[in-house]
Amino acid sequence: MRYELAPDLQQRESMGSHAGLSRVVENFCLETVQKKWAQRKAEESYGFTGDQLTQVPWTAPALEREWRAAHPERFPWFGAAKLSSRVPKEACRVRAAGFSNFLKSRSGKLVGARVGFPKWRTRKHENRFRYDADRAKPLGTRAVWLPGVGTIATREDMAWLTDRLVDGTARILGATVRERSGRWWVSFQLEVDRAELNERRRVPGNAPQSGIDLGLKTFATIRDGDGNVEEIPAPKPLRRALRTLRRANQKLARCQEGSKNWHKAKARVAELHLRISARRTDFLHKLTTRLARTKSAIAVETLNVRGMAVNRRLARAVTDAGFAEFVRQLEYKTAWYGSRLWKADRWFASSKTCRPCGRIHHGLVLADRVWTCAGCGVLHDRDHNAAGNLLDAMLSDFALGDVVFAGKFPGDVKRLAETK
């Protein structure tokens, strides 16, 4: 759960100091690992082995020991400023996680894209710091306690969180404080018992099954099993704000760097980017929540978003749409509310396949929004046809009545049909 804070000037400065501390500790950890790794390599070249080699502090406890030993001399201001000791501890954990992901990716044990070695953090990066466990916690519905900072008012009511903390259905695992465009937020990492909430909002058993085709002009074409088709227009938050954003960037470019007007113009650009991101997030959350609560099964495409973004003519529109975030939200929300999500194979020709006869139109290009099948002569709307093909593929992928799945539904248990 994320809530916006309403700090005064002194509290802003204190949170900025804690964000700077987190950045210093992360860079210290990176510097320590690099130096000791270079030392270890040098020792290996001289023939040292085993315990004779310098130990590299890859883990969080090892990095914490290095920080505690070094900060009295190298960073005496840490104790003098009376900053929270929990922030360096979490900064060490963040760096240790980055090193772990890098080593796993290097050895092929990490699933997904290749992860590089952690990089230095600078003042140009976002201001953020983190507390472990429930060190940061709500004080009532309109205030938050942050160690080293104090009690800060919130701009939003936190009754949803405080009620669950009182009755024991939620537990705080950690908290991250982050600044964007001059505004501060606190995000609580929670362990929540959602059983009662999910049961109350569980999707009805007779809810329709749907296939969803994603696009740039029409964000989602939703075809239900009863033939009903719904088109969701793409909000295009970046495109709608592009003219205003260009003017703000031009004004920023004309200002002398470091001047008061430059800082004002920079804040204006950041504010516009924040507004664009908020509009996109609001649209995706509202749509995915509605679908997860009203559809018993949902079929979607598996899109290569990174590959699509390589096309310079489509890159801006693809990244503005947020396809990957849409599918990610559907994954966990369908698991919450008892619906199912089915992902088509990446090479499934949903748009090129004629739904009545199954013939594939290999010559179909992106500009063709309607096309006629050469086999049966049926005129197809590209998006409607694709959504129908996705729905049919999902229905054919499991046996109706025996509910035998192909292992593609989050939260479902694969069961073999022993009676067949």
Give me the active site residues, please: 213, 301, 383
Contact status, residue 129 vs residue 90, Cβ threshold 8 Å = yes
Q: How many CB atoms lie within 10 A of CB 323?
A: 21
| Consecutive H or E run containing 381 | strand 379-381
Short-list 129, 123, 155, CA closest to 142: 155
d(CA 349, CA 326): 21
- Cα angle: 414, vertex 224, 356; to 5 degrees: 95
Q: In sequence order, what are the residues at sequence separation of 6 or more whose Cβ sits closer than 8 angstroms to the Cβ of residue 179?
A: 15, 16, 19, 126, 127, 128, 185
Contact status, residue 95 vs residue 26, Cβ threshold 8 Å = yes
**β-pairing verdict for 2-4 and 183-192:** antiparallel
| Consecutive H or E run containing 79 | helix 77-80
Q: Which two tokens stand for residue 170?
A: 């939620």
Q: Read off the amino acid at residue 51.
A: D
End-to-end, the C-alpha distance of the chain in Å comes to 47
Short-list 249, 250, 332, CA closest to 284: 332
Distances (CA, A) of 367 to 164, 217, 230, 363, 382: 51, 12, 21, 11, 10
d(CA 98, CA 380): 49
**β-pairing verdict for 209-214 and 183-192:** unpaired
d(CA 275, CA 76): 40
